[in-house]
Amino acid sequence: MVEIIMVPGIGGSGELHWQTRWEDANPRWHRLQPSDWNQPELDDWIAALDRAVGAARQAPLLIAHSLGCLLVAHWQQVSTTPVAGAFLVAVPNPEAQAFPVEAASFANPPRTEFRFPSLIVASADDPYGTVEYARERANQWGCGIVEVGQLGHINETSKLENWPQGRALLAAFAAGTANRRRDS
């Protein structure tokens, strides 16, 4: 079974967030640990992700939400540490008015193709990033994209609980990355 690293966004995904629920149900899954979840600094978060990926026994799968998606985009440009893939949920637009000012260091994410398989999951009514923005990022990053309807920012306020639709998407994506690794 592939190792999993959770990559939350600003605030660290609280106890009602699907990321935390998934992690609580899978004690072998890990979460990166930056210095501060509420005052994010890109360099610190890159170092935290690099530590988490470097500690994995095998190339892990990253499950990112919101600001964590932008972190993955920046990190993959500066690190060569292997990962199995990235499941990117609710990619925010750093140029949007709603983007948190405290996350300004995450602006200008790379526009180049990722070096590993990735999938963006986008909501039609995400206040932090439009579906059009998610499609543009998917095209630039070489990601697949799944549009899941109106789920807001796909977080605890979306009242998804364990988010079974997301678990099914993750399972399909993980199976695809496993097949890709076997074919390599």
Percent of the chain scored above 90 by pLDDT?
A: 91
CA-CA distances (angstroms) from residue 21 to 3, 18, 29, 65, 95? 17, 5, 11, 13, 30
- Which amino acid is residue 67, in one-letter code? L
Burial state string for 85-104 with b = 16 or more CB within 10 A and e = fewer than 16: bbbbbbbbbbeeeebbeebe
CATH number at residue 155: 3.40.50.1820
pTM above the 0.75 mark?
yes
- Which amino acid is residue 142, in one-letter code? G
Q: What six digits make up the tokens of 100?
A: 């948190």
Report the number of distinct structural domains present in the chain: 1
Q: What is the pLDDT of residue 179?
A: 64
Asked if the model's pLDDT at residue 8 lies above 60, the reply is: yes
Query: Model confidence over 47-102: pLDDT tens digits?
Result: 999 999 999 999 999 999 999 999 999 999 999 999 999 999 999 999 999 999 99
Q: What is the mean pLDDT of the chain?
A: 94
Mean per-residue pLDDT for 34-46? 97
Domain span including residue 157: 4-183
CA-CA distances (angstroms) from residue 165 to 21, 121, 154? 14, 11, 11
CA-CA distances (angstroms) from residue 140 to 47, 104, 166? 24, 21, 23
Q: What is the pLDDT of residue 184?
A: 47
Give the CA radius of gyration of the chain.
Answer: 15
Place of tokens 């990235």: 86
